[in-house]
């Protein structure tokens, strides 16, 4: 497996850390335990039958390539309606990214509530897919287009993000931007607005679906580790990858699991994309306001996930392998790339 680039901050820490080689070796072992399972055209077509984008995605899903983009930046962005912007496929997305970022960063320079909701929204739109349900669901925009945000109790707390995505879609659909792409793009922009958040490659080209996605495929915070492991294996995500995925709770705040504690974070630094979440779920001395989902506690103790959870728990010794595994094996997870 080819190891992903570290986020810049973690990279600076890493080269001064004596145990880096051991941590990278342990992360490589976790990478090797991923499913590498392909779906759709990636599983049925030969490489020479895939588009360049399809080949790139396939490479990332099977451990090749680098999922982060740390080099390419716009020095100057052409005006949105200029011939130069129209000739550049990525130009419109730079304008959208700047628009989104301006609304996702709080006064302290950290990701805010809208950013947190957009990260969760990206998963909820993509996560409504599984192998056992066949075609339908996945990252298809149905969360907003079919009102799933408001109609399904599992999506409570996403109303602000869904309303804002509808506003952005009305603004940018004239440029050929789909709701499906916009939701996943917002999740990636939201992630990078958080300090330590990785700048993950974003792929576009998803088609919108005006039909509601299959219900019952989004995890809830009361499920056991066994239930979650089974649910995510059906999405081609292994137990180790599941542990890396739930690390996104590092920026989360709960509002409906315990309404009396609405607004409480799932770790003590909800504006930073760090690994405090893992250690604080396990700890008996967690700060008073930190809220623990029963599902997270169950995963931290299960024999199939406990070792990986412990690996990610150190502030430095955990941040490095988490970056490597999450970005290279998931970043973003498989369902985020596909419409079933």
Q: What is the pLDDT of residues 97-146, one digit of tens each?
A: 999 999 999 888 899 999 999 999 999 999 999 988 877 789 999 999 99
- For residues 278-296, b (16+ Cβ closer than 10 Å) or e, as one string? bbbbbeeebeeebbbbebb
Query: Which residues does 191 contact at the CB level (< 8 Å), separation at least 6?
Result: 115, 119, 197, 198, 200, 248, 273
**10 has pLDDT over 90:** no
Do 226 and 161 belong together in one domain?
A: no
The answer to whether residue 267 is domain-embedded is: yes
Do 161 and 253 belong together in one domain?
A: no
The answer to whether residue 66 is domain-embedded is: no
Total-model pTM: 0.86
Q: Find the mean pLDDT for residues 241-252.
A: 92
Of the chain, the percentage scoring pLDDT greater than 70 comes to 84
Angle at 154 between CA 235 and CA 159, to 5 degrees: 115
Do 242 and 196 belong together in one domain?
A: no
pLDDT of 327 reads: 59
Do 96 and 205 belong together in one domain?
A: yes
Distance, in Å, from the CA atom of 103 to the CA atom of 147, rounded to the nearest integer, reads: 23
> Which range of residues forms the domain containing residue 270?
1-38+219-334
Of the chain, the percentage scoring pLDDT greater than 90 comes to 64
The answer to whether residue 339 is domain-embedded is: no
Q: What is the pLDDT of residues 69-81, one digit of tens each?
A: 777 788 999 999 9
DSSP characters over 143-174: HHHT-HHHH-GGGTT-HHHHHHHHHHHHHHGG
Do 292 and 210 belong together in one domain?
A: no
- Pure H helices in the chain: 8-14, 20-32, 41-44, 52-61, 83-86, 91-104, 113-126, 142-145, 148-151, 159-172, 179-193, 225-233, 239-246, 276-282, 294-301, 306-311, 319-325, 334-337
Do 238 and 286 belong together in one domain?
A: yes
Do 201 and 248 belong together in one domain?
A: no
Three-state SS for 253?
Answer: strand
pLDDT of 134 reads: 76
Do 244 and 315 belong together in one domain?
A: yes
The answer to whether residue 54 is domain-embedded is: no
Q: Find the mean pLDDT for residues 279-286.
A: 95
CA distances from 203 to 58, 149, 337 (A): 12, 23, 7
Query: Which domain-ending residue is among 180, 196, 218?
Result: 218
Do 210 and 305 belong together in one domain?
A: no
The secondary structure of the chain in percent helix, strand, coil, rounded to multiples of 5, reads 50, 0, 45
Residue 87 CB coordination number (10 Å): 9
CATH of the domain at 8: 1.10.420.10
Please give the residue that has the higher pLDDT: either 31 or 157.
157
Query: Which residues does 170 contact at the CB level (< 8 Å), separation at least 6?
Result: none
Do 84 and 206 belong together in one domain?
A: yes
The answer to whether residue 273 is domain-embedded is: yes
Please state the φ and ψ torsions of residue 87, each to the nearest 5 degrees.
-85, -10
The answer to whether residue 70 is domain-embedded is: no
Per-residue confidence band for 325, with pLDDT thresholds at 50, 70 and 90:
low
- Token pair of 297 as six digits: 């506690």
Do 84 and 213 belong together in one domain?
A: yes
CATH of the domain at 140: 1.10.520.10
Distance, in Å, from the CA atom of 293 to the CA atom of 252, rounded to the nearest integer, reads: 11
Tell me, yes or no, if 124 is annotated catalytic: yes
pLDDT of 7 reads: 29
Q: What is the pLDDT of residues 20-48, one digit of tens each?
A: 445 445 545 555 555 678 888 888 999 99
Least confident of 11-15, 36-40, 136-140, 240-244: 11-15
Query: Which domain-ending residue is among 218, 253, 274?
Result: 218
Do 309 and 324 belong together in one domain?
A: yes
pLDDT of 64 reads: 78
pLDDT of 28 reads: 53
pLDDT of 280 reads: 97
Three-state SS for 289?
Answer: coil
Q: Which residue among 95, 124, 169, 249 is the active-site one?
A: 124
Number of separate domains in the chain? 2
Query: Which domain-ending residue is among 159, 189, 218?
Result: 218
The answer to whether residue 56 is domain-embedded is: no
Please give the residue that has the higher pLDDT: either 316 or 298.
298
The answer to whether residue 205 is domain-embedded is: yes
Decide if 247 contacts 312 (C-beta within 8 A).
Answer: yes
Q: Find the mean pLDDT for residues 325-329.
A: 58
Per-residue confidence band for 274, with pLDDT thresholds at 50, 70 and 90:
very high
Which residue is listed with tokens 């409570």? 156
């Amino acid at each position: 497996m080819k190891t992903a680039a570290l986020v810049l901050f973690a990279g600076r820490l890493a080269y001064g850390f004596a145990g880096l080689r051991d941590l990278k070796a342990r992360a490589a072992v976790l990478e090797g335990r991923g499913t590498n399972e392909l779906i759709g055209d990636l599983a049925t077509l030969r490489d020479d039958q895939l588009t360049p984008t399809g080949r790139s995605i396939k490479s990332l899903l099977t451990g090749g390539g680098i999922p982060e983009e740390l080099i390419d930046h716009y020095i100057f962005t052409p005006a949105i309606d200029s011939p130069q912007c129209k000739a550049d496929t990525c130009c419109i997305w730079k304008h959208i990214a700047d628009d989104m970022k301006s609304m996702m960063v709080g006064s302290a320079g950290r990701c805010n509530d809208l950013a947190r909701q957009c990260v969760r929204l990206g998963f909820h739109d993509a996560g409504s897919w599984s192998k056992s349900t066949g075609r339908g669901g996945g990252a298809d925009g149905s969360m907003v287009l079919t009102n799933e945000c408001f109609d399904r109790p599992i999506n409570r707390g996403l109303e602000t993000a869904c309303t804002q995505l509808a506003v952005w879609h009305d603004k940018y659909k004239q440029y050929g931007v789909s709701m499906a792409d916009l939701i996943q793009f917002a999740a990636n922009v939201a992630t990078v607005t958080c300090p330590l958040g990785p700048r993950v490659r974003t792929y576009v080209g998803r088609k919108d679906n005006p039909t509601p996605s299959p219900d019952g495929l989004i995890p809830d915070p009361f499920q056991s580790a066994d239930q979650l492991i089974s649910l995510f294996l059906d999405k081609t995500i292994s137990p180790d990858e599941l542990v890396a995925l739930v690390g996104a709770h590092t920026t989360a705040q709960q509002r409906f699991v315990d309404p009396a504690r609405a607004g409480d974070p799932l770790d003590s630094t909800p504006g930073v994309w760090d690994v405090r979440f893992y250690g604080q779920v396990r700890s008996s001395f967690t700060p008073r306001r930190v809220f623990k989902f029963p599902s997270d506690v169950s995963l931290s103790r299960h024999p199939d996930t406990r070792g990986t959870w412990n690996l990610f728990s150190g502030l430095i010794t955990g941040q490095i392998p988490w970056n490597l595994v999450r970005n290279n094996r998931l970043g973003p997870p498989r369902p985020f790339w596909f419409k079933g």
